Amino acid sequence: MTSNAFCRSFLKEVPKICSFQTKLPQGFHTSCQMCVKRKVRIRISSKNFVETAIKGTPQFIARHLADPYVKRRFAQGYRCRSAFKLIEIDNEHKIIKPGMKLVDLGASPGSWSQVAAERIFPIIRSDSDGSEVLSTDGIVIACDRSRFTPLPNVVQVIGDFTDPQTQKQIQDMLREGFSDDKADVVICDAATNSTGFHEQDHFSLTKLIISATVFVTKILKPGGTFLFKMRTGSEIQKMLSTMKRFFGKVHIVKPPASRTESTETYFLCKNFKNK
Ligand SMILES: C[S@@+](CC[C@H](N)C(=O)[O-])C[C@H]1O[C@@H](n2cnc3c(N)ncnc32)[C@H](O)[C@@H]1O
């Protein structure tokens, strides 16, 4: 199947993923395009609201200071504690290997890209003068709307990854110096702005992930891996069954570094079937 035919077949699945309109109460427009088209409204009630620690509050600071992952991230020089989510997933499932081509969607401030670059470009020799020689194969392309402080061995694409122009830039980079424009692994920790309303946040992230997946089906090698973040909610099971049609193995994983009270969860989709 060609890439375009594949994307069309993926898009046919999208209405199934976004068929949540019947479950929602009335009174509020969701950000899901399918539902907006159908003029579906939902009502926000306080029972849907998820309380989270707000940055800067004493509650947030106390939790932050007591968090062992925060201490480890300073000790090991990672940009943020979320680095450990990828480290734990990869240590268990071995998705990132030396010499791979990897795309990180929603990469800022860059800790996932940092972890990916360490594993794609391992140290192959440490010289007596203290200098280190890294393996040179592979590429890490980090895409985000926000520019972040550059990282060694990571190339940045600044833009919205749902925008065709940004997607073209990523494809051009994947092709540069390689025989094709395909990636071995795509990781996506992108987040939409949180409203604090569980289902609303779940729907907006679902919509973003659907756009990301359509792009991923164009750039992923057959057999490739797609790891992405979701928020738990009513669409999880539909997302799971859809992903299973396109990937040989799909696991839902919650690494220990992801806080128990957080609604985030990760989809690890292996063995892309675009043959
Ligand atoms: C939770 S942060 C990612 C953290 C990153 N994995 C790390 O470990 O440093 C989510 C990022 O997704 C980005 N994002 C969300 N939607 C995006 C889009 N459509 N295009 C590009 N970036 C996006 C946001 O700008 C934000 O920087």
Which amino acid, one-letter code, is at 56?
G
Q: State yes or no: is 229 an active-site residue.
A: yes
Q: What is the pTM of this model?
A: 0.83
Q: What string of DSSP letters covers the chain? A: --HHHHHHHHHHHHHHHT-GGGGS-SS-B-S-HHHHHTT-B----GGGB---PPTTSHHHHHHHHH-HHHHHHHHHT-SSTTHHHHHHHHHHH----TT-EEEEES-TT-HHHHHHHHHHS-EEEE-TTS-EEE----EEEEEESS-----TT-EEEES-TTSHHHHHHHHHHHHTTSSSS-EEEEEE---PPP-SBHHHHHHHHHHHHHHHHHHHHHHEEEEEEEEEEEE-STTHHHHHHHHHHHEEEEEEE--TTS-TT--EEEEEEEEE---
Domains parsed from the chain with CATH numbers? 3-272 (3.40.50.150)
The residue that leads in pLDDT, 20 or 139, is 139
**N-term to C-term CA, the chain:** 6
Closest CA to ligand 1's atom 13: 106
Instruction: Please indicate whether residue 110, judged by its CB atom, sits closer than 6 Å to ligand 1.
Output: yes
- Which of 96-105, 133-142, 147-156, 259-268 is predicted least confidently? 133-142
Predicted pLDDT of residue 26: 37
CB 165 within 8 A of CB 181: no
Per-residue pLDDT of 251-273, as tens digits, reads: 999 999 999 888 999 999 999 99
Give the ligand 1 atom nearest the CA of 146: 25
Cα(114) to centroid of ligand 1, in Å?
Answer: 14
User: Of these residues, 207, 218, 229, 273, which one is catalytic?
Assistant: 229
* pLDDT, position 173: 95
Is 162 touching ligand 1 by the criterion CB < 6 Å?
yes
Ligand 1 atom having least distance to the Cα of 79: 9
